[in-house]
Amino acid sequence: MATATAPRHHMYLSVLAGRAITALADLAGDPLVWNERVEGGLNDGIVYCQTIRTRGTSVIRSIPSDGFNPLKRAVGSTTSEESPSVFAYAEAEKVEFFLAQLAKRERKAEIAELISAIKFLRRTATNR
């Protein structure tokens, strides 16, 4: 039967990141919009960031960086030289704070901030 390359709870993190991006996309279209999808998405994003922070190292390193790479020979070694966990922790904390502020409706999001948060979610969700 199928073989697993990553624990199941890690795999579903990308879905949480995806939902958070949906919420941020909604806010990019209308900064004042507020509904169940936005609220739920922001909360999913907070959970995602918390997981990245608390499990940063193991989550990020649990799968080789070239785990999904149909062009293995084409790209050679793609192992990242930087230490993702250090950056990920600090960034995750920052994005989590931002999402929490949005979830509490304490502030209006600027496009640049939304883009920055989306980029973080995308990078961490696809680099694992």
Partner 1 sequence: MPGSQELQSTQSDAERLRFLFVLSETLEKVTRLRQILYGQKAFIGTDQGDGESIGAVDNLAAFLEKHCQTFLEISDLVSAFLQRTYLNDGQIEAVLSKLAILIKGVGQTHELLLLLPREAAMPQASFLLRDCLGIENLRACIVLTNFIVAYEYRLADVLGQIQIEQNEREALTQGGDVLCQAFADKDNPLAWPMLAHEYGHVLNDDHASAQDISKEIVSGDASEPQSAQKRDSQRSWILGVISETVADFVAARVLGPASLMPILFVEMMQPPRDKLGLSTVHPPTPLRVQLVREYLASLNVSTTDFKAVFDAYDLDYDSKLQEMGEEQQKSVDEHAKTAEQILRQVVDQITLRVNALGLRRFETEGIDNARALQTKLASRQPISSRRSRSDDDIFAGLESLTAGKSTSQEAYAALEGLDEDPVPTSEILTAGWLYRLSSLEEALRKTFPGAGQKPDLRSFGDLTRKTDDLLLKSLERAAVHEVVRRRLTAA
Q: Which of 58, 116, 53, 59 is nearest to 87 (CA)?
A: 53
Shortest distance, CB of residue 56 to partner 1, whole angstroms?
Answer: 18
Q: For CA atoms 10, 121, 67, 84, give the dihedral sign.
A: negative
User: Which among 52-60, 85-93, 98-106, 115-123 is the span making contact with partner 1, rule CB under 8 A?
Assistant: 115-123
The token duo for 79 is: 């192992």
Stretch that binds partner 1, among 9-17, 48-56, 89-97, 99-107 (CB under 8 A): 9-17
Q: Which residue in 62, 65, 100, 101 binds partner 1 (CB under 8 A)?
A: 65
What lies within 8 Å, CB to CB, of 40 at 6+ separation is 19, 23
Specify the 3-state DSSP secondary structure of 67: coil
Q: Which residues bind partner 1 (CB under 8 A)?
A: 1-6, 8, 11-12, 14-15, 17-19, 21-22, 24-25, 27-29, 37, 65-78, 80, 111, 114-115, 118-119, 121-122, 125-128
